[in-house]
Amino acid sequence: MTAVAVAAAPGAVLRLADVPRGAVAALLRRWGLELELVAPGTPIPHSYWGESEAGIASRRVYARADTPLHSVLHEACHTLCMDGARRESLERDAGGDFDEENAVCCLQILLADELAGVGAERLMLDMDRWGYTFRLGSARRWFEYESADARAWLVRHGLLDAAGRPTFAART
């Protein structure tokens, strides 16, 4: 991977516009997902949270240039972590249980390392800035000390290999 620095205003989270054009779409394509870009100021289809948050339907992730990168990755990972039947009927609300939500958070952190200039450290900082809450107080502490179950879940469902690397296959 080539290191390319991406930037956002100090204290701000990275937005889709802060990442090299096409990088996120290319990453999602590796998993069989499509990134659908929405025009500025237009409501994002299938967004659970509204505002600038990403939306999901089937194998599509919807976002605008001002959508937080962590939101795009989180919603994409929801799509990847659900079984095929749920994925095909997916529209807006990913559902899932506690273990799946933890797997989603873990996978989005791991996928950040697949984006040049972003990386897990930056994504975890953005998750904290945005207000994700973890029992240990930060995304990084959770990822370092409590994500073993989430990683095992991802391996069990074929999203990570035995060495903990992304397989680029969605849960079947």
Residues lower than pLDDT 50 in the chain:
1-5
For the entire predicted model, the pTM comes to 0.92
Asked if residue 9 is part of any domain, the answer here is no
pLDDT confidence of residue 4:
41
Q: 163 in a domain, yes or no?
A: no
Decide if 144 is inside a domain.
yes
Range of the domain at 38: 16-156
Distant-in-sequence, close-in-space partners of 153: CB < 8 Å, separation ≥ 6: 99, 100, 102, 103
167 domain-assigned: no
Structure tokens at 137: 């107080």
Beta carbons within 8 Å of 120's beta carbon, 6+ residues apart: 109, 110, 112, 113, 143
What integer pLDDT is reported at residue 2 of this predicted model?
Answer: 34
Residue 5: its pLDDT value, please? 47
Instruction: Return the pLDDT at 135.
Output: 83
Residue 69 lies in a domain: yes
Q: How far is CA 86 from CA 46, 62, 92, in A?
A: 15, 18, 12
Q: Got the DSSP string for 23-79?
A: HHHHHHHHTT-EEEE--TTSPPTTBSS-TT--EEETTEEEE-TTSBHHHHHHHHHHH
* Structure token pair of residue 70: 């962590």
Specify whether the CB–CB gap between 87 and 55 falls below 8 A: no
44 within a domain of the structure (yes/no)? yes
Give how many domains the chain has, as a whole number: 1
Is residue 80 in some structural domain? yes
Report yes or no on 5 lying in a domain.
Answer: no
> Kind and range of the H or E element at 127?
helix 119-130
Q: For residue range 144-169, what is the model confidence (pLDDT) as tens digits? A: 999 999 999 999 999 999 999 999 99
158 touches 50 (CB < 8 A): no
Q: Which of 120, 112, 114, 121 is CA-nearest to residue 72?
A: 112
Quote the pLDDT of residue 6: 60
Give the span between the Cα atoms of 8 and 72, in whole angstroms: 16
Quick one: pLDDT at residue 144?
A: 96
